[in-house]
Structure 1
């Protein structure tokens, strides 16, 4: 079964395909996803925790950041790998020792342009920094970031925003079969029919996909017949997938190319409207080479969660110690977002409704996610501004 109801950030077409781009804040899982790809790695900006064991023997800075043309908050995420003798942290009500990357706070981050402009980032939460008062990317101007933390200074290689980008016609299909070694599994695949830029080579494309779905909390009878609050949950449907396209290998200006950009299992999140936000990124050759190495490593090891034989260097370095390995990448990219959603009626498989109220059902028998939206790590009661555009 295939569907092509979709939205993009181009003007509304006569066909009624609505448009929009996500203003949702990228979550920590986006950071961790990128970080873990870097190590074995390491949204519309969206939300984001993936557990990934590290055994690097020392602590290394991890940087994940992106500057785009989209009218949305621009973020840089800082973290560091952990060593065997790391002090325990207090989390979940108790102290624990783990080897997950940990957020880096109290850093000073500045975006610098080749014209001499400088704009600071402020720390919104531990390890998450948002750009302040930035007027927007200028054509022909290169940008880099400077990071000062714990007496050390790091800088990224300057990048200029690419001028060309393609467009996406997004669709989805449902299937049942072997999915990530699990037989008889119902899953959805998200595809794009890409219209290539009107250029002969010299461009490089990458796709990010995030998801947002509405979660129906249990509606318990009450004297005022007041429904539970809205609940929107953000995430990444297929964080291990790295979809790339090298325009140098194609000689088809304005031609077509088909890509599968995400796959994920069908679950209760498909009981209501479930959006997939497909972001096409036009990136630099250096960024493309970086992500190609990451993808090669992932394909060779079979999973982004496998420990790498060696870290992949990004485009950041320690000013005073160029030999220090800094993980991650700060890229300047032209972006275009296309959205598509499913509803329960689109799904050809049975999905159990776990949160439906029953008068003889004890409240303790409901999953905690049926009672409170905050049980989801990346959730909000605020409706995304583009939710009803279509």
Structure 2
């Protein structure tokens, strides 16, 4: 019998692309027995005037990791038959710009890999969103060794519209914080000012918040979006963006299966989770199991921010300039934005919404 850990495949290479103004691809967990050579496709198309992203890959090493494919042809298909071609950005990532969805219309995805063609079902973009209210708090968490650590939590409520048609929603939360790079005084001609560094990432990427109005009379929903440790990320303005995706029932059921599979990890006698299959098929080979989903969603973003004045904990500033201290004695993250980000997204321009009111 295989161990339970061998029943779970976590493909982290479908990276979190949490960029404001761009489509957001979650760190997606593909759960279940997989084999080498399975096609992996995940895409998100929204009503935002932004860059829409599709990831295309194939599982390698007995299904334990994924390799991006750069030789695919990826097109968006409108309900009227018009198509829009994505361009390859490398690493299995494909992007579509200067086009966005219209609520009420349907869209599909077609991906050609060699002689094989993979198609999603046509998905209608919903026409409504709920009204979110987002807040945050600072608290502590007691560890097993009786040490309290400072924690930041994001939570809120959602007012569900009272309409006759079913409402299906999911939420993700992301963080964005400013990280100034060390710029010590120079002798002689002044050195150029370092570019600003904004770092973005998911807050609890594997947390799946879902709601369905089917068989529910709830109109005010309490939500917990996630938590993270309080560290020097909070020395400067720290934003939380909650993305609410209004989706259709088929997409909701896909994410609900992902949620159930993630939680089904309790012990050796758990039923092995079946692979979660989405809405993408190979018409010429219906038996082929394709991992992933093409998601069509109407999006609403809600943002809150905090500053160091609101943090009730001491925040050490390891990058504070000290006269006479050699540069090589500062942590490398004080000098390098990417080293600080550790794989998270970095921006070198201030986001348009970086406004304090």
TM-score in same-fold range (> 0.5) = yes
Q: Which of 278, 281, 292 is the aligned partner of 1:317?
A: 281
Which of 189, 194, 212 does residue 228 from structure 1 map onto? 194
Q: Secondary structure at the match of 1:374?
A: helix
- Equivalents in 1 of 2:129, 2:184: separation in Å? 49
Say whether 1:117 aligns with 2:117.
no
Return closer, same or farther for 1:173/1:81 CA change in 2, 3 Å cut-off.
Answer: same
TM-score by length of 1: 0.78
Where in structure 1 do 4 or more consecutive aligned residues deviate above 6 Å? 179-182
Alpha-carbon distance between aligned partners in 2 of 1:125 and 1:323, rounded to the nearest angstrom: 29
> SS state of the match for residue 309, structure 2?
helix
Task: Give the whole-Å Cα distance in 1 for the aligned partners of 2:294 and 2:266.
Answer: 25
- SS of the aligned residue for 2:254 comes to helix
Tell me the equivalent position of 1:6: none
CA distance in 2, matches of 1:296, 1:202: 22
Residues 351 and 24 of structure 1, relative CA distance in 2, 3 Å threshold: farther
1:130 shift after superposition: 1.0
For residues 305-350 of structure 1, the C-alpha deviation after alignment (integer angstroms, 9 at most, x for no partner) is xxx7432101111121111111111111111001111111111111
Cα offset, 1:79, TM superposition:
2.0
- After TM superposition, give the deviation of residue 190 of structure 1 in Å: 0.7
Query: Which residue does the alignment assign to 1:158?
Result: 122
Indicate conservation of the 8 Å contact 2:48/2:101, yes or no.
no
What's the counterpart of residue 185 of structure 1? 149
Aligned-residue offset at 1:280:
0.7
Distance 1:368 1:352, change over 3 A: same
The offset of 1:194, in angstroms, is 0.7
For residues 301 and 348 of structure 2, the distance between their equivalents in structure 1, rounded to whole angstroms, comes to 23
* Residue 117 to residue 247, structure 1, CA distance change in 2 (3 Å): same
Where in structure 1 are there 5+ consecutive unaligned residues?
1-20, 42-54, 87-98
The match for 2:264 is 300
1:74 is the counterpart of 2:70: no
C-alpha change, 1:281 and 1:182, in structure 2 (3 Å) is farther
Which residue is 2:338 aligned to? 374
Instruction: Give the 3-state SS of the residue equivalent to 1:148 in structure 2.
Output: strand
Give the distance between the partners of 1:330 and 1:310, measured in 2 at CA: 20
Deviates more, 1:176-185 or 1:332-341: 176-185
Give the RMSD, CA atoms, in angstroms: 2.6
Worse-matched range after superposition: 236-245 or 56-65: 56-65
| Alignment: residue pair count | 331
Q: Are the equivalent residues in 2 in contact too, given 1:268–1:353 (CA < 8 A)?
A: yes
Q: Which runs of 5+ in 2 are unaligned?
A: 1-18
Conservation of the 8 A alpha-carbon contact between 2:338 and 2:346: yes
Match of 1:137?
Answer: 101
* Partner-residue secondary structure (3-state), 1:59: coil
SS at structure 1 position matched to 2:264: helix
CA contact (8 A) 2:50 2:97 kept: no
Deviations 1:37-74 (A, max 9, x none): 2x138xxxxxxxxxxxxx83312111111111112111
* Matched residue, 1:51: none
The corresponding residue for 2:312 is: 348
Q: Which residue of 1 is the match for residue 350 of structure 2?
A: 383
Give the TM-score normalised by the residue count of structure 2: 0.85
| Residues 23, 385 of structure 1: 8 Å contact kept | no
SS at match of 1:369: helix
3-state SS, counterpart of residue 235 of structure 1 = strand
